[in-house]
Structures are given as C-alpha cells and as structure tokens.
Amino acid sequence: MSIFLVLLTVLMAVAIGWSIGANDAANSLGTAVGSRVLNLRQAIILITVFGFLGAFLQGSSVAKTIGKGIVPMEQLDENLALYVALVSVFAAAAWVVIATRWKIPISTSHSIVGAVAGAGIAVHSVVRWKVLLDIFTCWLLTPIGAAVLGYIFYRIFKNIFYRLMPRRFVRGSMIALIIASGCYVAYTWGANDVANATGVIVGAGILSPRVSIILGGGAIVLGIVTWGYKVIETIGTEITHLLPIMAFSAQLASAINVHVYTIMGIPVSTSHSIVGAIFGVGLVRGLRVLNVRIIREIVFCWLATPVISGAISFCILKFIGLFVKL
C-alpha cells in the first residue's frame, strides 16, 4: 500500500469533512439564525460542540454502510480499495465545495454515495444495488417525513404556546426550545454525516473507526468555523420567513427524522430533512410565504448531486486506469 496514496486519501477525507461542515452547518441552527433567536457567532459555537459530540458518540453506524455496504471494499485488492477510496472522497468533496460556493444546501450523503457507486462501476466491482435502492428510498422519504412532522408539530405547538400558555412565558420558553432543538439537530447531523468523510477510509482499512471518526469530526468543525456562514444565510432567511415557533417545529422535526435513520445506519441528507421540515411549517401559513424559486433550485441540485459526483469518480478512475493497472 503506497504511503503517498494513503496520505492523499486521508487528506481528501479531511477535505470532504471540511466541505460537510461548510455546507451542512446551516442544517442545525440556520433556522434559529433566521428567526433572530441566535446570532451567527453563537450558532456556529453550538453547532461545533454538538456536531462533534454526535460524530464521536454515534458516528460509527452509518460509516459501516458508506465504507462497506455499497461497494465491498474489504473484498478488493488493497491498492484498488485505496484508489476507490481516494477518488470517491475527492469527487464528493469537489462537488460539495462547488455547491457551497453557490450557497446551495446540497446533500453530502448523496455526493459520497454517488461517488462510491461511480467508483465501484468504474473498477467493475460488485455494487450492492439492493443497499443503494434502500438508501434511495430513504432519500425520497426523508424530506417528505420531515415536512409531515414539521406541519404537525407547528400545528400542535402553535396551539399550545399561543392559546394555552401564559403570554409572559412564551418568549423565554420558545428561545430555550429553539436552542435545544437546534443542538439536537447538530448532534444527529454529526452522527449521520461524519460517515460521509470517514466511511470509505474505514472501509479501505486505512484508519480504525475511532481514529477516523475523530479525524472527520475535527475536519467538520474546521469547515463550520471557516465557511459555514454561507449556507446558514440561505437556510435561515431565503426559503421562508421563520417565526420562532416555526423554527422550533422545523428543527425538532428534522432532528427526529435524521436520528431514526442514523440508528438504522442509513446515510440520509440532513439538508433534505431541514428543508423538508421548513417547507412543512411554511405550508401551515400557505404556499404564498414560501420562496418557490429557491426551493426549485435546491431540489434540482439534490437530483443532480449523486449523478455528478458518480460521474466525476467514474471518469477519474477510468483516466487513472490508462496509466495504472487497477
């Protein structure tokens, strides 16, 4: 196993971890920023702490699916597995960085899953299509489930806080609940998405699961503090104007949604979940409050993501194959 390729693969994993932090930080407390409960600095600090905790404590479940569930990396020659891991993380990171530059909240889960599948096809490896089908099904259900939960929660909590609770307690309670639910989102995000950075290097046998989770969690933290503000602005202000109770309902719906899939070991999109939840709470007030244009752009990028990252990894591996026997 080439030391240079190992180091380059780890570096690319760090890069995708950074890109995850930069693009997906908004999924946790972007709604809290949009509803003026937290400022940007406060949100970034909380996302950093709870995102890393989620990665460290529960990040290993989804990492197994990414690393070995789609392409059986442990069955490949070690050099071939290394090339698959390297190209997959590079392709996924490249597309996420481009989307972040455009301020579009895409799915890093879609990006890495598409990249791994594309790499597996390129080297004529066994691609576990049943696993991919299960993942795709969950991808479709993620925003729908979050939207339904968001709609229900907003209906329930609006009645509780505006009709049953004494008015003097409403604001303080809502602030506390928005912050708590946002931290829960950050935790589930770290638990589910750290696998996008570390799963392939675990599957290729480069690093142990624990070391890779710490490395990936650190990279995500770096992405949050350096570039995470870009997509936070999109999530917090450009989909719909969020009242505090809407922010709480959306965050709670998104967190529960993602946590269920994390326990199942399914890599889903926290971007899908929070945008679906925001859409759901927005529907309570009517379609007129939703920014249909930005939602349309986001959905297009969701659909394009696995195809683009898969095509990038496929083409790169085919090009490498012209010079190196794979």
196: confidence class by pLDDT, cuts 50, 70, 90: confident
Mind spelling out the 3-state secondary structure of 305-319?
HHHHHHHHHHHHHHH
Half-sphere exposure of residue 127: CA atoms within 13 angstroms, side-chain side:
17
pLDDT per position as a tens digit, 277-310: 888 888 877 656 566 666 676 677 778 889 999 9
Q: How far is CA 322 from CA 89, 310, 315, 325, in A?
A: 20, 19, 11, 8
Q: How far is CA 233 from CA 8, 39, 272, 312, in A?
A: 33, 11, 16, 29
List the structure tokens of 239: 């989909």
Q: What angle do CA 32, 34, 39 make, to 5 degrees?
A: 65
pLDDT per position as a tens digit, 36-50: 778 878 888 898 899
255: confidence class by pLDDT, cuts 50, 70, 90: very high
Eight-class DSSP state of 22: H
Phi, psi torsion values for 35, nearest 5 degrees: -90, 5
The backbone region for 21, taken as left when phi is positive above 0, alpha when psi lies in -120 to 50, beta otherwise, is alpha
| Dist. CA 288–CA 276, nearest whole Å | 16
List the structure tokens of 298: 């986001």
Q: What is the pTM of this model?
A: 0.81
Cβ atoms of residues 247 and 35 within 8 Å: yes
Alpha helices in the chain (DSSP H): 3-24, 26-34, 40-58, 60-64, 78-101, 108-122, 129-159, 167-203, 209-227, 229-233, 244-263, 270-285, 292-321
pLDDT per position as a tens digit, 211-236: 888 898 889 888 888 877 666 666 55
